Structure 1
Amino acid sequence: MTVEIIAAYATALCLLGGSFFILVGVIGLLKFNDPMTRLHAPTKVGTLGIGMLLLASMIHSIVLGAVSVHEVLIMAFLFVTAPISAHFIAKIAIHGRTCDNPPPPPRDDTWSTLSIPKEGRKVAGLPDS
């Protein structure tokens, strides 16, 4: 097998994988009802799909000998802006009261620290303190 054939298979695999992830993102966008569940489909799965399509474009352009950094810049821009836009959509949904608020955290001193409760210390074999 030559490098061109291997690159063609890699390009086809990236195109198929990217198309699958974009299709899953579109179905998720259409299927989910509220904005909080709906924003996961285009931001998570869609970003991965677009990234795979851009990777296929990069592989194909390298085989042709026309190396370009446009795909890398597009991927960097996409990976930076997708989480920010998802955060803004979530904040708008929370402040607009169009979704349920997340449940409050439990009222103990271990949920956000590295403290281990006394019964957990016994199980782990740690001394009581």
Structure 2
Amino acid sequence: MTDLPQWADLLISFFIVLGASFAFIGSLGLLRLPDFMARLHAPTKNTTLGVGGVVMGSMLYFSVTDAFSLHELLIAIFLFLTAPISAHLLAKAGLHLELELNENTKDLRKKPEQYTDKDS
């Protein structure tokens, strides 16, 4: 087992704890939020940041102990490209199915004329 310098140990720990915190908050949002659209928002934002933090910690660890590692960077790029696309497709499916929304969730479909760019 290799001994890490203290600065690397602290920096790696910071990124892993930060990533785990974001992932945990995203998971709580998925559990606690009232409807589909709100539940969709929490994991796409927070969990993406959470995985990003863990990947940064992993990149730092393997770069300090071995050679510079790009595997984790490829994982992060793939995640940051696919998470918004899948969230967009899920949101469009939810709109198409006209899923029931909570009364506190703003539904911009009720008065579309007030959200247009056209001058009346």
Q: TM-score band (shorter)? A: 0.7 to 0.9
Report the Cα offset of residue 33 of structure 1.
2.3
CA RMSD in angstroms comes to 2.1
Equivalent residue number for residue 106 of structure 1: 114
Asked if 2 retains the 8 angstrom alpha-carbon contact of 1:14 and 1:55, the reply is: yes
Secondary structure of residue in 2 paired with 1:106: helix
Shift of 1:89: 0.7
TM-score (norm 1): 0.77
Question: After the TM superposition, which parts of structure 1 deviate over 4 Å for at least 4 consecutive aligned residues?
Answer: none
Looking at structure 2, the residues matched to 18 and 24 of structure 1 have their Cα atoms a distance apart, in angstroms, of 10
> What residue in structure 2 maps to residue 28 of structure 1?
29
For residues 58-96 of structure 1, what are the alpha-carbon distances to aligned partners after superposition, in whole Å with 9 as ceiling and x for unaligned? 000111023221101100000000100110110011000
**Structure ID, larger Rg:** 1
Identify the residue that residue 10 of structure 1 maps to in structure 2. 11
Q: Distance in 1 between matches of 2:94 and 2:100?
A: 6
Instruction: Give unpaired runs (5+ residues) of structure 2.
Output: 102-106
Aligned counterpart, 1:75: 76
> TM-score, normalised to structure 2's length?
0.82
CA deviations on 1:35-72 (whole Å, 9 max, x unpaired) are: 10001111100000000000000000111023221101
Residue identity in the other structure for 1:78: L
Structure-2 separation of matches of 1:95 and 1:88: 10
Q: Which has the higher contact order (CA 8 A, sep 6+)?
A: 2
8 Å Cα contact 1:36/1:99 also seen in 2: no
**Contiguous gaps of at least 5 residues in structure 1:** 116-129
SS in 1 for 2:112: coil
Q: 1:51 to 1:105 in 2, by over 3 A?
A: farther
Equivalent residue pairs, number: 109
Which residue is 2:94 aligned to? 93
Identity %: 39
